A and B are shown apart, each in its own frame.
Chain A
Amino acid sequence: MDLNLNKDRKIGEISGFSNFFINLIFLIISLVCILPIVFVIIISFTNEQELLVSGYTFFPKEISFDAYSYIVAAGDVIWRAYGVSIFVTIVGTILSLLIICMYAYPLSRSSFRYKTQFAFLAYFTMIFGGGLVPWYIVYTTVIPIKNSIWIMIVPYLMNAWYVIIMRTFYKTTVHESIIESAKIDGAGEFRTFFVVVLPLCRAGLATIGLFCTLNYWNDWYLPLVFVNNAKLYNIQYFMYQTLQTIQFLATSSTSFSNAGLAMQSLPSEGARMAIAVLSIGPIILAYPFFQRYFVKGLTVGAVKG
C-alpha cells in the first residue's frame, strides 16, 4: 500500500492520509466482493465430517480433497452437464455472433433503404414483449424444440442491444469509402462483409462474442423453464438442482453401484460447493479477456446508449 508522505505529492494528488483512507475502503470492498467466492472454495476443500458437525468455516481444521475425488469418480452426470454447457456456449456464441453481425451490418449502411424498418424490428423487442406464457407455448407447440439442446441456444440468438452496439462499431470503424472501394474491386456484398468489414471490427466481434459467451455459460433460465430431460441439464441448472436437493448429486449419477452406500458416504456438502467452484473456473481463467473487452464494449455502448 502506498503510504507516501505529503512531500512526494505531485500537483493535483490527494494527501497521503486520504490516499491511505481511500485505499482502506477499497480494500474492504474488494474483500467483500471476493470473500464469498473464496469461502465457497474453502468449503469445497473442507473435510465432510467437519462440515456436518461445525458447519461452514473459513478456517477448517482439516483439508480434504474428498469432494473433488468424489466428483471425478461419480462425475458422469457432472461432466455431461459440463459438456452440455460447453457445447451450448460454443455453438450458441458462434451462431449468435454470426446472426447479430449480419443483422447489424445492413443497418449501418447508409445506402440501404429499409434500415430504419429493420432496425425497428429489432428495437421494438426491447420495448415490448409477449410475456412468459405465450413464449412458453410457442416453444412447446409451434416450434417444438423444447426437448432438444437447441432450446438452450435459439432463444438467445438475437439481442437488439448487441445489434445496436455492433452497428455503432461498424459505423465508427468502417468508413463507407472502404466498402465502396471494395465494390469497385468487384467484391460482392458478402465478400466485402466477411473479408473487409469483419476483420476491421475485430474488437467489436470480441466484445459481442464475449457477451454471448457469458450469457450462454451462465444461463440457467432456459433449462429452468423448458428442459425436462436430465441428460440436457447444463452445469448451471445442475447446480440449481443440487442446491434444492443435496442428494440429487448421488441419485443422478450412475457410476456408483450401491445407492444407499453411495449416498451415505457422499461428501455432499463439500461436493456441491466443488461443483460451484468448477463452474466458476472457466470464467476466472478467461477473466482478463472478459474484463478488457467488456470495458471496451461498455464504452462503445455508452457512446450510443
Chain B
Amino acid sequence: MKKYLIQSLLVFCFFTTLDLFAVSFKGRIFSRTKNKGEAAVTVFIFETKKGYTTDEEGFFEAEVPTFGEYTFRILRATGMQELKKTVSADGESLTLFTDKVQAPKGAIQVDGQKEKTILSRYKVRYDEIKRMPGTLGEALNAIQTLPGIFAPPFFGGGQPGGIVIRGNNPNTNTILYDDLPILYAYHFDAINSVIHNDLIKTIDVYTGAYPANYANATGGVIEIESTDSVKKATGSSSISLLLGQAMYQTPLFNGKGYMAAGGKVGYLDKTIGATGLIPDGIRLPQYNSSNVKFVYNFTPQHAISFTSLTANDNFVLNASTKKGNDPTKEPLEAIAGASVSAGQGFRTMGLRYIWTPGSKFNNRLTLINYDPFNKTNVKIGSIEADFIARAPYTGVRQDLNWDATDFLKIDFGTEVRAFSYNVSGYTVSQKDPNNLSPNPYKTDNPDFEKREITQRTQFGYGNAYSSWHFKFGNLKIEPGARYDYIGSSKQGVFGPRGLVSYRFDNIGKGMTLFSGAGDYFRFPFFSQQPSLESGNPDIKFEKARKYGVGIDQQITEEYSIKGEVFKQEFSNLIVSDPYITEPYGLNPDKTQLLNKPIVTNRALNYSNKGDGWSHGYELYIKKSNRPGSRDWFGWISYTWSQSYRNNNVFVPLGDDSSKLITATEARVRSQYNNSKELIYEFDTTHLLSVVYGWRINEQYQIGGRWFYRSAFPYTPVIGDDGGQYTNSVNGITIFNPKYSDNPYSGDYQNSRRAKPYHRLDFRFDKFLNYEWGYMNLYFEVLNLYMRENILTENFDSTKPFSGTNPSPQGDFFLLRNGGYKSPFFNIGLEVRF
C-alpha cells in the first residue's frame, strides 16, 4: 500500500508542476501552395509584444502567459499578414497556414457527393475513438458509446461479434466497409474487430430508418469508411496482451494513387491461455485478419480502387475423458468427452471504377466477390454436428449521385449477384425448439436429432434503389424506395422510405427538426433456414417498419444535442417451428432416397410466424473538438427502449410437452397459436455512456468512460430434473435445469434481470516523439471501481438445484486472485513512423 501511495504522490507532483510556468509552444509558418514552411520570416505576437524568427523549416518557439487566442503578425518584405490562432495546451504545436490550396486547373469539385441522413445516424471520427478508454485499443468498440448500441461480451454468454442496435438481434444488422460486405465485425474474442484501426476514417451507425442504398437489415447498419487519401508514407505497429497489428500506407505514382494495408494476429491462447487460468482442454481463440486498399486516379475523371478484406477465426475445446481425483478442480467434468471445433471467416474483394465526368455527376461501378464460410465440428452427448458451409457470391453493383437541379439531387443504384449456398455434412437440431433445457445426455427419446444438410444451390439476386433529395430553402424532403428480388423463391419486396427535415438557422447555431419512416427487409442468405434440403424454401423476407422523429440542435460550434423518438414494428420474423410441414416432400434422410424418396408431412422446421416491436428514445449531447487540436471532447448518450417478440408458435403446456404427437395433431398445432408476447432477450431498457478525452500536451493524453445499462433479461432456473441421466464418459450424474412452462408465472421466459451493469474505464497515453515518428505507450484500466457486474445466472449441471446453484455469472472485467480483486487492465505499445 505504501508503495502505491508514493507512486501516486509522485504522479500528483508531476502533474501539478505544469502550471508553474508560462505556456510555451512550437509554431510553424506553412504555405499550402508551396507545401513547405516559410523560412526567415518574423512572427510578432501582438498581445505579448514579442517577436520571433522562423528557421529553415518555418518553425519558431514562443511563449505566452496563458491559454487563449492570440494575434500573429507575419512580417515579410512584401507586407504584413495577420492570423488569429488559439493556444490551448502547453507544449503544443501550432501550424499557421498562410494561404489556401487552389484547386488545380481542370480539377473537378464534386458537389454531388451523397449527403448523409440526419435521421437515426451517429458518426464518430477515428481520432475521437482511437484512444477511447475501455475499448482495449479497438476503435470499433467505441461505437458502443453511441445511443442505442451495445455489444454483449463473449464471455458473458453473448454472441461473439454481436452488436445490439436498439434491442435487435445482432444477426439482423448489416456491416459494411466502403460499401463492401463483411460477415462479422468482431473476432471470436468479441473485443478486436476485423478492421485495422488505422484504416478507419469514420464510422456511421444507422440505428433506425436508413437510406435506400443500404439493404438487408431489420436492425441497423454500420458503415465503416476507410482512409481516402494518403499524403506520405507512414506505418505503425502495436502489440498488446491480446493481439499484434501492423499497418503501412504510402502514396504511389507521384501522388496519383496510394496503397494502404493492415493486418492483425490474435494470440490470446499464447498470453492469457498460458497463465494457467484457462482450464485444460480449452484452446482460446486464434484469429487473423487483413485489409488492403489500392487506389489509382488515372485522371480527375477516372479512378479505380481495389479492396481486399479477409478474416479467419477458430476455437477448440477438447474436454478430457480422464476422471480427475479432485472434482472441484475439474471445471469441464460435466462435458467430459466433448469436443468442439468452430471456425468462421470471410474473404471480400471489390474492384471499383469511379467515373466523375463533371461537377454534378458521380458514378461507381463495383465488382464484388464475397466468400463467407463456417466450419463446425461438435460432439457433446447426443449433439453431433460436422459441416462446412459457404455462401459465396459474385456481383456487380452500380451507384450514382446526380445533382439534377439546384433543388434536387438523385441517388440511383442497381446490383445483381450470382449466389451459391454450399453445405456438406450434417448438423444437429433440437426436436422441440420450445424446450428451454434440452438434455444432450438424454438417451430415451433424445432431445436432439442429426440432420443431413449437404446441398449445393445456386440462385440469383437483384436489387435497385433510388433516393430523391429535394431542398427548398431550409426544407428537405427526401423520398426513396428500394426493390429486392430473389430468384430461387421468385419473391420480391418493395420498401418505400422517406425523410422530411427543416432547419432553423437562427436558433443557436442551427436547429433541425426531422422525421422519417420506411419499410425494411432482411433475408437469411447464409443460413439453413431457406434451404431446400433442411429448411423451408418458402421462407419470406423478414420485415421491419421503422419510424423516427427528432431534433438536432447545434448550440455552439462545439456543443450539440440530438434527441430522437423511435418505433419499430417487426413482422414475418423467421422462427423455429416444429409443427410446420408440407404434405409431400423429398425424404430428408438421404440414405432412404432409393427406398422411400418421397415422404408425407415433411418437416419444414422454420416459418415466418414471428412478430414484435420496439420503441424508445435517445439523447446525445456532444462536445466536439477540431481535428488535430488539443481541446477536450466528449459526449453523453442515453437510450431508453423496450423490445418485445412473439414467436406465434404453439407452446405445449405441462405434460403435453413430453408427448409424442401424430401428424394430424402437428397440423392442428401449427394452426393454433397460444404463445405469449415476451420481453426480447436483447432488450436493454437503459443505456448510458459518458465519454471524455483530452490531449493534455504532446506527451500525454487521458480519457475516461462511464457506462451504465440495464441487464439483459433471462429465464430463471426453478429446479432440476432429479439427475435422471449421466454422462456415459465419466459416469457423472447430470442435473438438467428446469424452467417454468407456465406463461402466467413470474418465472416465465425472460422474466428476470440481474442488477444494472455499470463500470468506469480509464486510459492513460504517453507519447514519445522522435524524428522518425512516435511511440505510444498506453495503460488502460477497465472497471476502475471494481463493480461486481452480473451478466446472467449459471447452472452447474454436476450439482442439484439449490441456493447456490444456479450462481451469478460475473463479468470478465473484474480479476480475482488469491483472495484479492482488481480491475481488468491492458497495457500496449504502438509504434508509428
Q: Do A and B come from one complex?
A: no
